[in-house]
Amino acid sequence: MGFEYTLKEFQGYDFNAFFRQVSDADILRVIDKHQLDNFDLLILLSQRAENHLEAMARKSRELTLNNFGKVIYLYAPLYLANYCDNECLYCGFNRVHSIERKKLSLEEVEREAQVIHRTGMRHILILTGESREHTPVSYLKECVFVLKKYFCSISIEVYPLEAHEYSELIEAGVDGLTLYQETYDRALYKQLHRSGPKSDFTYRLSAPDKACGVKMRSLSIGALLGLSDFRLEAFFLGLHAFYLERAYPEVELSVSLPRLQRAIGDFAAICPVSDYNLVQVMLALRIFFPRVGINISTRENREFRSHLIGLGVTRMSAGSRTEVGGYASLDKTQGQFDVADTSGVEEVKEMISLKGYQPVMKDWQAL
């Protein structure tokens, strides 16, 4: 059946009516609960819950501390290519943009790896656009073989693959998958993803199942916040993670909360998400999922990220470049989006230490 079945169950559900009847007592009761159900998550995402952010923060802090301790895991993104067959209105790699397209040669991959490795990073996330022609699985595998020399954990954020392709990449040395559904609003999804393979909502939604089915070690899913009503996006993201947690209990699961940033094309957020509400989403998801990782990338600025430490976040990117060749190359391209926290890795580590947390550069040992 998969997660689509759950999504269909909520078709036509009157969320506004639900939100309207949420009381302060409901919120306080949910904050104190041990095992939350779907509607408890919805209660924490309600407008009324905004009045209880402090109580939510206290609970979230306690759960995060018990389950993850005083540590923040760090990783670096590495853009391999920006060729793309998709027409996604919010993305800098949208195929209709006449930007310089580039794919790193293996020598360039190695140079990028060396620069990142020198910063102390041992976890890398490799990214491409969706182009089976320019960046086929065989190319990804070649890159992984190069990167294995430098990193202890390699995750991919590429286009959806078939199960046997995920298997091949795991065999090559990949241990993590990042794949965002972007929006769980099917109608909006269709409008935003005008053409290309990504326009198939179901195909994208089924990819995490394929990867987990062949024993991908870790998985990060997310919704691009700013596209649709964040309360519902966060709710469905939670349900999606819950479904995956049940179906694949061995997978290390995390959720990402990327907020839409300015990119080429100047697509403006349809439903902007305030700092206040981003924190609400993070706290609600933590209280719902004591054990699931929460990622906050350099899409958020340094000061805001530093405030989030201790509240629920467990993983951060640092020193990120979103251009192809951004770390070492002289002829780098334009970035996928504008990075808000431009601090170097050392500065991010220092910021984490100042908050009384330990920056962790290595948390897996490739087998």
Partner 1 sequence: MEDVLLIAGKQIKSRFFLGTGKFSSYALMKKAIESSSAHIVTVALRRVNQGAGNENILDFIPGDSILMPNTSGARNADEAIRLARLARAAGCGDWVKLEIINDQKFLLPDNAETIRATEVLAKEGFIVMPYCNPDLMDARRLKDAGAASVMPLGSPIGTNQGLRTKELLFILIEEIDLPIVVDAGLGRPSQAAEAMEMGCDAVLVNTAVATADDPELMARAFALAVEAGRSAWRARPAQIGKYAKASSPLTGFLR
Residue 70 or 190 having the CB closest to partner 1: 70
Residue 227 contacts partner 1 per CB under 8 A: no
Residue 12 or 249 having the CB closest to partner 1: 249
Pairing of the two strands 218-223 and 176-182: parallel
Is the separation of the CB atoms in 121 and 361 below 8 Å? yes
Q: How far apart are alpha carbons 17 and 240 in whole angstroms?
A: 23
Q: How far apart are alpha carbons 233 and 225 in whole angstroms?
A: 7
Q: What's the closest the beta carbon of residue 204 comes to partner 1, in angstroms?
A: 23
Tokens of 326: 């951004």
Residue 363 contacts partner 1 per CB under 8 A: yes
Buried b / exposed e over 264-288, threshold 16 CB at 10 Å, is: beebeebbebeeebbbbbbbbbbbb
Binding to partner 1 (CB under 8 A): which residues in 119-178? 119-120, 122, 152
Q: What's the closest the beta carbon of residue 292 comes to partner 1, in angstroms?
A: 8
Residue 110 contacts partner 1 per CB under 8 A: no
Q: Mask 262-301, x = binds partner 1 (CB under 8 A)?
A: -----------------------------x----------
Residue 197 contacts partner 1 per CB under 8 A: no
List of residues 6+ apart from 69 with CB closer than 8 A: none
Residue 357 contacts partner 1 per CB under 8 A: yes
Pairing of the two strands 123-127 and 153-157: parallel
Pairing of the two strands 293-296 and 315-317: parallel
Spell out the alpha helix ranges (H) of 193-344.
201-205, 207-213, 230-247, 275-288, 302-308
Among 278, 284, 351, 360, binds partner 1 (CB under 8 A): 360
Residue 89 or 152 having the CB closest to partner 1: 152
Among 93, 235, 243, 364, binds partner 1 (CB under 8 A): 364
Among 8, 23, 24, 65, binds partner 1 (CB under 8 A): 65
Pairing of the two strands 358-360 and 71-79: parallel
Kindly determine how many residues on this chain lie close enough to bind partner 1 according to the rule CB under 8 A. Answer: 33
Residue 67 contacts partner 1 per CB under 8 A: yes
Q: How far apart are alpha carbons 245 and 137 in whole angstroms?
A: 27
Q: How far apart are alpha carbons 51 and 317 in whole angstroms?
A: 30
- Which residue type is seen at 166? Y
Q: What's the closest the beta carbon of residue 217 comes to partner 1, in angstroms?
A: 8
Residue 245 contacts partner 1 per CB under 8 A: yes
Q: Which stretch binds partner 1 (CB under 8 A): 136-144, 198-206, 248-256, 267-275?
A: 248-256
Residue 114 contacts partner 1 per CB under 8 A: no
In the complex, which residues of this chain contact partner 1 (CB under 8 A)? 65-71, 117-120, 122, 152, 215, 217, 245, 249-253, 291, 353, 356-358, 360-365, 367
